[in-house]
Amino acid sequence: MTAAQFPYHLLNSLQHAALWALLALNLAATTTAAEIRFSTQTAPLLQKYCIGCHNRVTREGGLSLQSADEIEAGSSSGPILDRNTPASSRMLQTLNSTGDEQMPPADQPQPTAAEKQLLTDWLLAGAHFDSRQPILPRLPAIKPTKGGPGPALAATVSKDGTRLLTGHFRHAKITQLTDNSPQWQLTIPDGKITDVQFTASEQQVLLATGTPGVSGRALLVNLADSRIIQEFSGHNDALYAAVLSPDETLVATAGYDRIIRLHNAHTGQLLRELPGHNGSVFDLQFSPDGSLLASASADATIKIWHVASGQRFDTLSQPQAEQYSVAFSPDGRYIYGTGADSRIRQWLLTSRTQPEINPLQISRFAHEGTISLLKLNSDGSLLVTTDE
């Protein structure tokens, strides 16, 4: 049968069938590409093979793969994604390389053929992100073989002296001091709760916590219903300190990652970061008027910061070892610091509005061991310290 003899209606039907088949193939390819979800498929592979070296802390080659923003930012050598010509992206080239630039390196665990194909398909499809949340390292779930009450890692007392708020491993609680009865408890999934504070109304509490090597955050919790009102995150390691400003508009947080962060207390928004310490930051305190922030660090210094600008006004460098606790006198005239050198120091606060040297007035040997905590009473006439 010739083309001229072929029934026209059958030819037309075959043409339509071919067109629909081609369209179905294209849709299938598009659907397959779209079905590769970064959050549940790609991110776990990056977490498994890449985040150990290319994270926010180590950044080997100037590259962090810990979030969508950081992946899009590329490395110190330039972009690693090319959405115009995905086949030319550096990320795809290193994934499929067998030379020196192979990633993961040849001496490290390698993705399976199926895993490598999934990463390749995601890159060729344009490397789209369905989530911009950071990729956090996964820790194994290790259950203790024997339980126990565990130590209190942080404590504070209510203004009337009747309630004790304590932080423990994965939980905080309030105890009624009149009869030692439990009044409130909150369980969290993170780790140690290392700092605790009542708000002025004592209807909420601020807790500092985190998972070592993973993340740190502070939580503002409503006592009536144990609801987390606000979260203050962004740290790459566990927190040691979280404190509300006197007017309760700001929350300052710090910990093992050395960075102090100032947040809006109502929205949780990060307002500014205060880098400068070369060691973990163990304690933070606002001045009574809220204009200054003092930080005590493992780098054997106490730093004074101007809250409004983030400018460092002074570094108190006289300590000879790690500083664990810092405090302003209630009248704002003095700064006190203690730490691993077993001494209590008092400085006269002069750097109130501009950078200035705050003179050391007293340095007194007080304990045989490390002084872990320093507190003043309400009128500043008494000072209490504890050691290890």
23-44 pLDDT per residue, tens: 444 433 443 445 888 888 888 8
CA 327 to chain centre: 25
The domain locations on the chain are 33-124, 154-387
Q: Helix axis angle, 8-34 relative to 113-124, nearest 10°?
A: 110
Superfamily of domain 154-387: YVTN repeat-like/Quinoprotein amine dehydrogenase (2.130.10.10)
| 216-230 residue pLDDT tens | 999 999 999 999 999
Residue 215 — φ and ψ, nearest 5°? -165, 165
Residue 146 pLDDT level (bands cut at 50, 70, 90): low
Contact predicate 61/92, CB 8 Å: no
Question: What is the three-class DSSP state of 36?
Answer: coil
In the sheet with 260-264, reading across from the earlier edge strand, the strands are 239-244, 250-255, 260-264, 270-274
* First vs last C-alpha separation in the chain: 100
Average pLDDT of the residues in 223-238: 94
How far is Cα 309 from Cα 271, in angstroms, rounded to an integer? 10
pLDDT given for residue 20 in this prediction: 43
How far is Cα 384 from Cα 380, in angstroms, rounded to an integer? 10
| 160-192 residue pLDDT tens | 999 999 999 999 999 999 888 999 999 999 889
Average pLDDT, the chain: 87
pLDDT given for residue 132 in this prediction: 84
pLDDT given for residue 9 in this prediction: 45
Residue 58: pLDDT over 50: yes
Contact predicate 255/281, CB 8 Å: yes
Question: What's the pTM?
Answer: 0.70
pLDDT given for residue 10 in this prediction: 40
How far is Cα 307 from Cα 312, in angstroms, rounded to an integer? 9
Question: What is the three-class DSSP state of 3?
Answer: coil
In the sheet with 204-211, reading across from the earlier edge strand, the strands are 195-198, 204-211, 215-222, 227-235
How far is Cα 227 from Cα 52, in angstroms, rounded to an integer? 34
